[in-house]
Homo-oligomer: A and B are copies of this chain.
């Protein structure tokens, strides 16, 4: 089953037409190797993406070279927010590990808004979730020390993985380098290393190669003020699927 349809179905009871519209977004398939850049900030690119397998991240770099990672994209994610507003993408999209993505032209999302407006609203709600999660990270960068920043990133990733895998424990494979973590939470790789070590020594996390375990989730939540933004998404404000009033239907067509 399509990973995007699966995720959306968890939030909303999809009609057949809606399900079809989603599946059409995933018609194509493209493999991307670890480290490969799918789209580069500033380059012309008229595509959105659905992630089918693997992690990607979106980032931007300053002329001087420092990089900031804004978001990680997991299977079932729609990657559109960083280039819906302009002709050229604002962020660079890079594969963290080997991935499969479905690119589709932007206009197809426009058509989906017209043909399945309730899905449009759902995408809006999911954009709001991403926005608020980013605000949480901003709060971490602005007001937490290194340990808190790293801890809140681990909690966030764990929460998002849990959405896709309900039977997910407190231990997971983290394909990020310490450099990636540093570029995401605004520290240097050297300091990230010290912080991870410190968290481990305090018994808050466990590490084994690239496996990470949240040994004391309560303490991590306590030190970061973490809120899970992904567990529940409200869709009650979306209009029912019912046909539109004929008057407006005419006006639109």
Contacts and interface: CB of A to CB of B under 8 A. Distances in A.
Interface of A: 15-17, 46, 60, 62-63, 66-68, 70, 80-87, 90-91, 105-107, 109-111, 113-118, 120-121, 123-132, 134-135, 137-139, 141-143, 183, 185-186, 225, 227, 229, 232-234, 236-239, 241, 244-245, 248, 251-252
6 contacts: A17-B252, A62-B139, A80-B128, A84-B128, A113-B239, A117-B117
B233 A138 contact: no
A238 to B, nearest CB: 5
B186 A143 contact: yes
Given A15-B251, A17-B248, A139-B62, A124 B129 contact: no
B130 A131 contact: yes
Contacts of A105: 237
Given A62-B143, A70-B138, A127-B124, A114 B117 contact: yes
Given A62-B139, A81-B128, 10 more contacts: A17-B252, A68-B142, A85-B129, A86-B233, A87-B236, A113-B121, A113-B239, A114-B121, A131-B134, A138-B138
A89 B67 CA distance: 31
B128 A85 contact: yes
A23 B153 CA distance: 41
Given A110-B237, A138-B68, A85 B115 contact: no
Q: Which of A63, A80, A81, A118 has the most CB of B within 10 A?
A: A81
A113 B115 CA distance: 11
